[in-house]
Chain A
Amino acid sequence: MITLNNNTAEMLRQRSQRFHDAVDFQKTDRIPNLACVVAWKILDAGYSFVEAFHDDRIMERCVRQFVERYSVDAISDPGAGSAYKLMDVFGTEGYFRAKGHRIDVTPFCLAEAQELPAYLENREEFLLRHLLPRKIPQWKSKTREDFRRALEEQAHMENYGSRITRVLQEEYGMPLLSSSQWGVPTPLIETLLHPVRGVRGLSCDLHRIPEQLDELIAAEDGKNLRAVIEQLDHGPAGHDYRFCFDLRTVIRTSCLLSRKQFERYYWRSMKPVFDACARNHKHILVMVEGSGAHIFDLFRDYPRGVITLMIEHDDPFALRRQLPNVAIAGGMPLLLLGHGTPRECVAHTKRLVQELATEGGYIFCQSNFMCYPNDARRENLLAVCDWLTNGTEV
């Protein structure tokens, strides 16, 4: 139950409204400021990755310090997604491995192409019987006690998620990125890329078994994404003003798929979801990892007030010219935030606002998730946030 005091409740509503108005190309009092921050907030608070990932109280402290220090409207990651302690129980580090101020990524290919039908037949059973034994060392020697401890860690993770949500919304009046009501619609091709087949495995499948991929995707997405569409068509109207967006999705496959492949394996599945968002006036954040320049024009026919493209490597100014109908989130390079001066950072921020937000439709954020020490300098981020909030010149 939400027990906001009047000021915090009003701040929560204002911040959320600022995002929704920007997506609708409505005039806002100022540009919404979304901090794309993941692990950098840990370093900025004076802790190491390992310390924060393994202790919820430290992670909460890092989140609190970040939102108290920088005048942002929302943060992309409140630190609730870390499964480190869960993986610890099973004696493995998993996908991400944190060492001091470094995070390494271990790519996985957890199922062979010939196993895909069995995986789709019963996903959890397949994961338990085939995938986890390959991923977790000495799986067969795990005991009931190991599983009990894992379930305890799972409960801790859920508690942290609820707690940090309350902290952000009720103490700081800060909306979360998107509502869990609609979930994060994900087509099968994205799940095949991670974690099922990996980049190498999926690349082979695209050339060796293209027709089988068609069949699997049609069967799976037809069933799973239809449920999302029905929820959108029959769920509550309007926006929930505890969130910046109604729902979100992530596109990673644009880095791997040609335009033709993207239309065949991704767009055919997801276009009905985007159409349902348009039909029901829902705001969807589309987070495009890497580059998506070759697929962006697929969004050209949606009316304003539906799609927000959150971009990484793509040129935001070219995208604004190409798609005057979509809202854009991004544009602040980490190279500049990490190595430039406050004056240079504010100058670039001004250019982003002046060129991208002439009619609304722009949300300020970093062009990549801030993770590492050199991704930003504190004085640069402070200067940018000050200018966005108060118009303070440096």
Chain B
Amino acid sequence: MENLSPADLTLEQLARQLCSSEENPEAMLKRVRLLVWQLANG
């Protein structure tokens, strides 16, 4: 599995990398934004 080096990616780039062809890119960006907050607060 390729390394994402997330510290080098912007939020949108990360969401694009995680988005499969069946998923809505905007919904994925929203989920990644939420994930970032959950990890920061968790």
Contacts and interface: CB of A to CB of B under 8 A. Distances in A.
Contact of A143 (B4, B10, B39): B4
A90 interface: yes
Given A129-B7, A143-B1, A148-B18, A95 B36 contact: no
A150 B35 contact: yes
Interface stretch (A130-138, A220-228, A351-359): A130-138
B41 A95 contact: yes
B5 A154 contact: no
A1 interface: no
B42 A140 contact: no
B2 A143 contact: yes
A147 B6 contact: yes
A107 to B, nearest CB: 13
Q: What 6 pairs across the A-B complex have the smallest Cβ distances?
A: A83-B42, A94-B42, A143-B1, A145-B1, A127-B36, A127-B40
A124 B30 CA distance: 11
A87 B35 CA distance: 11
B19 to A, nearest CB: 10
Contacts of B18: 144, 147-148, 151
Dominant SS among interface residues on chain B = helix
Interface in B1-42: 1-11, 14, 17-18, 31-42
Contacts, number: 87
Contacts of B31: 151, 154
A142 B14 CA distance: 12
A135 B6 CA distance: 13
A160 to B, nearest CB: 13
B36 A144 contact: no
Which of A143, A145, A148 has most chain B Cβ within 10 Å?
A143
A86 B36 contact: no
Interface of B: 1-11, 14, 17-18, 31-42
A142 B6 contact: yes
B4 A87 contact: no
Contacts of B33: 124
A124 B18 CA distance: 17
A304 B41 CA distance: 35
Nearest to A110: B40
Contact of B35 (A95, A133, A151): A151
A141 interface: yes
Contacts of B8: 140
Contact of A86 (B4, B7, B17, B42): B42
A139 B7 contact: yes
A150 B33 CA distance: 12
Contacts of B11: 124-125, 128
Nearest to B41: A195
B1 A131 contact: no
Given A86-B38, A139-B6, A157-B38, 14 more contacts: A86-B35, A86-B39, A127-B40, A128-B9, A128-B11, A128-B36, A132-B6, A132-B39, A136-B39, A143-B2, A150-B35, A151-B18, A151-B32, A154-B31
Interface in A146-176: 147-148, 150-151, 154, 157
B40 A90 contact: no
Which of B5, B11, B36, B40 has most chain A Cβ within 10 Å?
B40
A136 B38 CA distance: 13
Contacts of B41: 83, 95, 195
A135 B40 contact: yes
B7 A144 contact: no
Contacts of A129: 7, 10
A50 to B, nearest CB: 16
B26 to A, nearest CB: 15
Contact of A195 (B6, B10, B36, B40): B40
B16 to A, nearest CB: 11
A94 B41 CA distance: 8
